[in-house]
Structure 1
């Protein structure tokens, strides 16, 4: 295994992002009009990724929300990169990107989605608690919640806050 870095996504990450989305679509269900979302989130600086090679992503996530509630909107780790801590690093990056004492939400797979078990464990290990089952586009999702810590600086955009990991 090697080291990896969670970095803000750039324009050249969009095509690999769409390839990762295609790989995990069986879990998420049809992602209508998803093609335009990563590009918009890259421009908004609300997209992060971990590259595995020049044209492949090991993992990626999109963030959203405002002061009334922040969201991890989409998080995926490629099947070849699972079990290396990439999902945990992405969630940690998200929590650092949001202001202190913010409400953070994420919708993930319900209990009867076997391939979603790792995602539920990831969020629970990261301090999220289940709130309710919601229906999104005809698909049931389990909504999780947590609050960001209150004891950190508010400078989240600096290079020092990007995560570097050895696995």
Structure 2
């Protein structure tokens, strides 16, 4: 997951700048059995607890979010602006969530998390594809901030490889994450 300073996007997340992560490995090291039947849709207020559930799964990397009012406000603001997506299946929990911002020609992934049980099954790719379809208009660029190459989570999370496979290239370093770890902008030209 990665964080972007709020002033970079113009969408204030307060203490919770854009945080984006994609983990491809399950914590137990197992390969997921196969892709669940997934629907990507616009997030609704009723999905708010699901966003908190996703955040709880990644707090070890990024610090507290579940109890942070700024994070709550950011999620609700993205939902109310129709700039949030969720991945759902037949179960009660969200498989993934994405918060997005667009100020053409710049488009920003503010937060992307895939649930532990759905990592490595294409849910992150599906969320990114739907966000791009809905909100990205070219010419311009799409940005996301993830772990710096020297961050302990860089290899374990799979985030850098995930974004590179989607056509992003590493760009400039940015401010550290809330835990003090390095972060780097990844960018892809669109249109």
Once the two structures are TM-superposed, the CA of residue 53 in structure 1 deviates from its matched residue by: 4.8
Deviations 1:97-139 (A, max 9, x none): 2112221110011223444431111100000000022114544
Which residue does 2:186 correspond to in 1?
144
Contact map agreement 2:102 2:136 (CA 8 A) in 1? no
| Cα-Cα RMSD | 1.8
Matching residue within 107, 110, 113 for 1:73: 110
Deviations 1:20-50 (A, max 9, x none): 1111122223444201211111110100011
- Unaligned ranges ≥5, structure 1: 151-167
TM-score (norm 2): 0.71
| Count of residue pairs the alignment pairs up | 149
Q: Highest relative contact order (Cα 8 Å, sep 6+), 1 or 2?
A: 2
- Unaligned ranges ≥5, structure 2: 1-33
Q: Which moved more, 1:102-111 or 1:115-124?
A: 115-124
Q: Does 1:123 align with 2:157?
A: no
Equivalent positions of 1:1-167 (< 5 A) are 1=34, 2-31=36-65, 32=68, 33-53=70-90, 55-96=92-133, 97-117=135-155, 118-136=158-176, 137=178, 138-148=180-190, 150=191
Label 1:53 to 1:28 Cα distance change in 2 as closer, same or farther (>3 A): farther
Contact map agreement 1:27 1:116 (CA 8 A) in 2? no
